[in-house]
A and B are shown apart, each in its own frame.
Chain A
């Protein structure tokens, strides 16, 4: 058995690849949680009827954050489907 094969089989038997993936999943979840909280705050601010300029800025942030949440969910789904 070559050194590479040996390392791969050790990684497999110890589940080290899953460990790496789990770390990534945890990071995405953490980030998604923060993004959701931020989205909530923006919506809250929008409900308070802000000025024209501020409203424009908040709407722009909301657009960006919605896209990021969507992307985050897609990444998480992909990671989950790979570990099934």
Chain B
């Protein structure tokens, strides 16, 4: 509702402003061009985020200090903390980095964004930067029309910078003329009241423009022509720092839980820093004077002093927050828990899929792989409980015979309920996300994605088969007929062995162990198939089991065979390192069906 009223109101106010004041029109056009430049710049950097950028990001953010440095340099380079925030949310969403690293990047981006104020204060207001804008725009637009993706990217970056410079130029011109008509300084109220009024204006301006960078540039332009006082500018800067979090909050609305946590961290960090700046404003102003004098900045050069203030209060904020980063992460993890429930039980949802990574093929692929592993974790729980064994016993070194003697529950668990809460939704989202991601991928990536989709299908099929298997498994595992009980215990033991081996495959880096276990699993699946190895015939012939038992065993043996086959196929796709050279030879190294037959014949 609010959204519906907000836009028309803003448009109406702007239209009225343009009608009343041509200078206001020029300033607004400057802001619009500046923002357009940022969009173009974002577009340009996206063109280079095909895979290398992701790898660099992963390596440069594995420690908190590294992620702060990364946030600083990338923001300084791209001159857009919002682009860095959006990319961070997407990488976090894809599970490529953790929340701590994400917060580190936000810290760094906050300091990095101050370089914009330095550039503008020290360079932009003294040189006629529109002179640089024109050639950049011309070269940029020519390159945008080229077919090559890289040239296009360079074109967008050049055009983006051109628009940024042109926007600054118009803002400056507008304020020069504006000075003659309205004096913003006359609106200023002294003391604490004035401080809060201008903080409010700073928040509002940033919320409307969705860019603290644009607000700071606007503040500097207004300050340079004396439209606002130095104190007003400080308050506006503090306000801009709070307002900028709204962009991330709006951006996180469509992202997953981690994106929301990061936006929460962004808001807490900026709001607390702003409060500290307000409380200690006089001390910070004195510190700015001392630092400015040390740097040789003239006492009357308020624009450069504002850049010093901007940097100082943000550095103080980061220094203040670093020791509490872990506490902040814990708080956010508990404050933003996944919410949906069904009949009082938690419904699991996707953890890594996030629309913001759709356009980055390798990140999207990494997100799908991680989500499929998440799906398998849930399937592992369901299959284990369906077999009536405890998960921690499966992954322990407990002998298999002992694992199956320690039941999970006295009665059969409701697999349908598990399926609906922990598989169905996630599986649907993975398939939907994969279809969307596919449109941005090269044929080679699409082939990989197809395999991942197959792995997902294998997991779901294995869970469904477990449901069918469970019915008789519960019944015959406690049967008075020891022969049928033995057979069902064998099915349970073999599947538990397979789950244990898949757990080893998932956690080891040793390729020889992986291919040995996968080959062994393949062999055992066929070896222990009661129909193929003649066990069933033997039991029927000797009348050791009833006809009803024989039919059940035959069907359930087929289910167990399918579960094994599906899980082995899934493990072969999901748990082999995608980057390893061995992946290419993996399929050739695994034993084939013919090899299995040969070994069985020998045995």
Chain A interfacial positions (CB closer than 8 Å to B):
3, 23-24, 26-28, 31, 34-35, 38, 60-61, 63-65, 67-68, 71-72, 75
Q: Is the CB of A27 within 8 A of B580?
A: yes
Q: Please, what's the 1-or-0 string for B581-601, where 1 marks a CB less than 8 Å from any CB in chain A?
A: 110110011010001000100
How far, in whole Å, are A64 and B521 apart by their CA atoms in the complex? 11
User: Among the listed stretches B111-119, B254-262, B264-272, B509-517, which one makes contact with chain A, having 4 or more residues with CB under 8 Å of it?
Assistant: B509-517
The residues of B that contact A64 with a CB separation of less than 8 Å are 516, 519-520, 523, 591, 599
How far, in whole Å, are A60 and B524 apart by their CA atoms in the complex? 10
The residues of B that contact A24 with a CB separation of less than 8 Å are 581, 584-585
Partner of B519, one of A3, A34, A38, A68: A68
How far, in whole Å, are A63 and B588 apart by their CA atoms in the complex? 16
Q: Is the CB of B589 within 8 A of A72?
A: yes
Q: A26-B581, A31-B589 are in contact. Are A60 and B520 (CB under 8 A)?
A: yes
The residues of B that contact A26 with a CB separation of less than 8 Å are 581
How far, in whole Å, are A34 and B512 apart by their CA atoms in the complex? 7
Q: Is the CB of A31 within 8 A of B512?
A: yes
The residues of B that contact A67 with a CB separation of less than 8 Å are 519, 591, 595, 599
Partner of B516, one of A28, A65, A71: A65
Partner of B603, one of A28, A38, A60, A68: A60
Residue of A nearest to B582 (CB): A27
CB-CB nearest 6 A-B residue pairs:
A27-B581, A34-B512, A63-B599, A64-B519, A27-B582, A23-B581
Partner of A68, one of B523, B582, B584, B591: B591
How far, in whole Å, are A47 and B148 apart by their CA atoms in the complex? 64
The residues of B that contact A72 with a CB separation of less than 8 Å are 585, 589
Q: Is the CB of A38 within 8 A of B516?
A: yes
Is B602 positioned at the interface, with any CB of A under 8 Å from its CB?
yes
Q: Is the CB of B581 within 8 A of A34?
A: no
How far, in whole Å, are A67 and B519 apart by their CA atoms in the complex? 10
The residues of A that contact B523 with a CB separation of less than 8 Å are 60, 64
How far, in whole Å, are A27 and B514 apart by their CA atoms in the complex? 14
Q: Is the CB of B148 within 8 A of A3?
A: yes
How far, in whole Å, are A64 and B602 apart by their CA atoms in the complex? 12
Q: Which residues of chain B in 342-371 are interfacial with respect to chain A, using CB atoms and an 8 Å cutoff?
A: none
How far, in whole Å, are A65 and B589 apart by their CA atoms in the complex? 10
Q: Which residues of chain B in 494-519 are interfacial with respect to chain A, using CB atoms and an 8 Å cutoff?
A: 510-512, 515-516, 519
Q: Is the CB of B516 within 8 A of A61?
A: yes
A60 to chain B, nearest CB (A): 7
Query: Besides the contacts A24-B584, A64-B516, what 18 more A-B pairs have beta carbons closer than 8 Å?
Result: A23-B581, A24-B581, A26-B581, A27-B580, A27-B585, A28-B582, A31-B512, A31-B515, A38-B512, A61-B520, A63-B599, A68-B515, A68-B591, A71-B588, A71-B589, A72-B589, A75-B585, A75-B588
How far, in whole Å, are A45 and B603 apart by their CA atoms in the complex? 19
A-B contact pairs, 30 of them (CB 8 A): A3-B148, A24-B584, A27-B511, A27-B580, A27-B581, A27-B582, A27-B585, A28-B585, A31-B515, A31-B582, A34-B512, A35-B512, A38-B512, A60-B520, A60-B599, A61-B520, A63-B599, A63-B602, A64-B516, A64-B519, A64-B523, A64-B591, A65-B516, A67-B591, A67-B599, A68-B515, A71-B588, A72-B589, A75-B585, A75-B588
Q: Please, what's the 1-or-0 string for B47-70, where 1 marks a CB less than 8 Å from any CB in chain A?
A: 000000000000000000000000
Residue of B nearest to A21 (CB): B581
Q: Please, what's the 1-or-0 string for B74-88, where 1 marks a CB less than 8 Å from any CB in chain A?
A: 000000000000000
The residues of A that contact B602 with a CB separation of less than 8 Å are 63
How far, in whole Å, are A3 and B146 apart by their CA atoms in the complex? 13
Residue of A nearest to B581 (CB): A27
Residue of B nearest to A32 (CB): B512
Q: Please, what's the 1-or-0 string for B509-548, where 1 marks a CB less than 8 Å from any CB in chain A?
A: 0111001100110010000000000000000000000000
The residues of A that contact B580 with a CB separation of less than 8 Å are 27
The residues of A that contact B595 with a CB separation of less than 8 Å are 67
B505 to chain A, nearest CB (A): 15
Most buried by A among B148, B512, B582, B584: B512
The residues of A that contact B582 with a CB separation of less than 8 Å are 27-28, 31
B405 to chain A, nearest CB (A): 18
